[in-house]
Amino acid sequence: MPRYVPPLRDLQFVLHELLEVTPALQALPAHADLDVETINAVLEEGGKFAAEVVFPLNQSGDEAGCHWDRETHAVTAPAGFKAAYAQYVEGGWPALAAHPEYGGQGLPHTVNQCIYEMLNSANQAWTMYPGLSHGAYECLHAHGTPAQKALYLPKLTSGEWTGTMCLTEPHCGTDLGLLRTKAVPCADEGAPAGSYRITGEKIFISAGDHDLAANIVHLVLARLPDAPAGSKGISLFVVPKFLTDDTAAAAGGIGAKNGIFCGGLEHKMGIHGNATARMVLEDALGTLVGEPHKGLQAMFVMMNAARLGVGCQSLGLTEVAYQNAVAYARDRLQMRALTGPKAPDKPADPIIVHPDVRKMLLTARAWAEGGRALAIHTTLMLDRELHHPDEAVRREAADEVALLTPIVKAFLTDNAWSATSACMQVYGGHGYIREWGMEQFVRDARINMIYEGTNTIQSLDLLGRKVLADNGAKLKKFGRKVAAFIEAYGVDESMQEFINPLADLGDKVNKLTTELGFRAFQNPDEVGAAAVDYLRVCGHLVFAYFWARMAQVALSAQALSKQSGAQADPFYTAKLATARFYFAKLLPETASLIRTARSGAKPLMALDEALF
């Protein structure tokens, strides 16, 4: 049976030693009273909930899946999911990072991110139910009318209601400009002012229907009758599963069933415990969110939150797969070490002594710990963007969040796919057997590279929109952070093994970016040809920066221990060993990536379509 232990020590290392989040958050008026003790207490309780309540449901939920009743269209989540969600609501977890005005606890997103990492390690399918709700909350908080906020935000904050986003249609996935769902102004007598009747079909809607909460708040993209073609003609609507008004909601009640229902569940490779639904709208009543024809701008609040969330899902899976692979490698006996027996009292050595097994384990560990640093840093920048009193600081933080979001989504999910697969490989044939739990981590990880914008879309977004569109301004700002770190520690002899490759990669990224910019000006296909490789190179630049910083913190801690005569903390020894592994074994991937990015579009576009 698989196991999970919340990585509290490493979370605390990233929060308090690497990023020093407490003083950074105290500089924000909304979090001026926050302290280390509060953060650690929340993490400890969140870890207990993830490990003791949610994780035991992961395998059973995968095996049972969700049930759809063809006659009533009702969807039932796997056994135990509803009770766990009720416990989650009772504990106040949905309200953690929500605004106190709507009943929230007002804690920073940075803390919420850590809780969600642990929940995703424990049970990604279950965590998607409350995870999507917070995205709906953020979207309505940013673009909803006063009436919409008053009606929906308190219920989303408490967790009494959950939320979804309904974008994809059978004929259009990423290209939302093709969507056909229609919204017509409502002429019904007695209908709320500004209501619309919405008709269409949406597919691949995560947590689209279930029995965990009393109501579901769907955010739906649709076209008004006078909408222009393409993405400029898309509007956003809030469509509840059950109709209600602010009076009824305040009293805890809901009204009649709305014209939106589940037309079936997808039969998927993974995340079986989450209801991925086909949602049908038949004259469903909804209200406009934001301005007409500007629905994508409003929805991007939720989509960007979801992209960060998907990166967090993969981070969680990488961590739990690593933990289980290490435990297995310590116990499994197979052959003798090439340098001689390491366990002479046993018939064979544990496989953790073999170099290739260690390579697989260290790969997963490096991806998990590097991803944790990146994810928490990005969320800290998000808190700064939302709450810093200085507009210039907010703007700088927003640029960094925009730059890093596609990297969080794509780089972390690509890494999780390779890491979970490597961890399954550690088990040999047992990894392919369901009872060990490893093959589920692999199956669950695969979807994260696809939904909320495929990783190719993230790559095009990074290179086309976030880098070339502003002549590299956002990238240069981040590059200045890297350069400042290099300058600060470039003369430290103990840091040379980390500083030198970081500086070298930074220089190569600058040159590659300039070269691709010139090529794209002559032929736009060059962006598409290089984008995936380019994002991965940038992902390594970010990881190399954080791994170098983590190495510096670990070296400083070891030096302090030595000066005081205290015993060395093995945590820092392991951190340095993992950093050295990353720079020696994983970072060199950038050489081939840069070469393939420079090879251009010609090898891809030369073959005539008829010859495929």
Which residues are within 8 A (CB) of 109 and not within 5 positions of it... i.e. 6 or more apart? Answer: 97, 379, 382, 383, 386
Give the up-direction half-sphere exposure of residue 455: CA atoms within 13 A in the CB hemisphere: 25
Q: How far apart are CA 603 and CA 591, in angstroms?
A: 19
Alpha carbon 476 to its chain centroid, in Å, reads 24
Closest Cα partner for 51 from 330, 446, 320? 320
Both structure tokens of 419: 């890491």
Q: Which 8-state DSSP code applies to residue 359?
A: H
In this structure, are residues 401 and 365 in contact, taking their beta carbons and an 8 Å threshold? Answer: no
| Phi, then psi, of 191 in degrees rounded to 5 | -75, 150
570-to-5, 79, 355, 576 alpha-carbon distances in Å: 18, 41, 21, 10
Ranges of H-type helices in 199-348: 246-250, 295-331
In three-state secondary structure terms, 218 is strand
Amino acid at site 348: A
Q: Give me the catalytic one of 117, 138, 439, 452.
A: 452
Q: What is the signed CA dihedral for 409, 411, 417, 420, rounded to 10 degrees?
A: -100
366-to-152, 165, 369, 370, 482 alpha-carbon distances in Å: 41, 33, 5, 6, 20
- Dihedral class, residue 605 (left if φ above 0, else alpha if ψ from -120 to 50, else beta): alpha
In this structure, are residues 217 and 240 in contact, taking their beta carbons and an 8 Å threshold? Answer: yes
Which residues are within 8 A (CB) of 214 and not within 5 positions of it... i.e. 6 or more apart? Answer: 160, 161, 242, 254
3-state secondary structure string across 369-415: HHHHHHHHHHHHHHHHHHHCCCHHHHHHHHHHHHHHHHHHHHHHHHH
Place of tokens 């710990």: 369
Q: Is 417 exposed, middle or buried (0-12, 13-18, 19+ CB in 10 A)?
A: buried
Closest Cα partner for 148 from 194, 209, 94, 207? 194
Q: How far apart are CA 228 and CA 287, in angstroms?
A: 20
Alpha carbon 265 to its chain centroid, in Å, reads 23
Q: How far apart are CA 598 and CA 592, in angstroms?
A: 10
Closest Cα partner for 226 from 193, 189, 185? 185
Q: How far apart are CA 325 and CA 428, in angstroms?
A: 11
Burial 435-471 (b: 16+ CB within 10 A, else e): ebbbbbbbbbbbbbbebbbbbbbbbbbbbeebbbeee
Active site residue 452: yes
Rg (CA), the chain: 25
Query: So which residues are the catalytic ones?
Result: 452
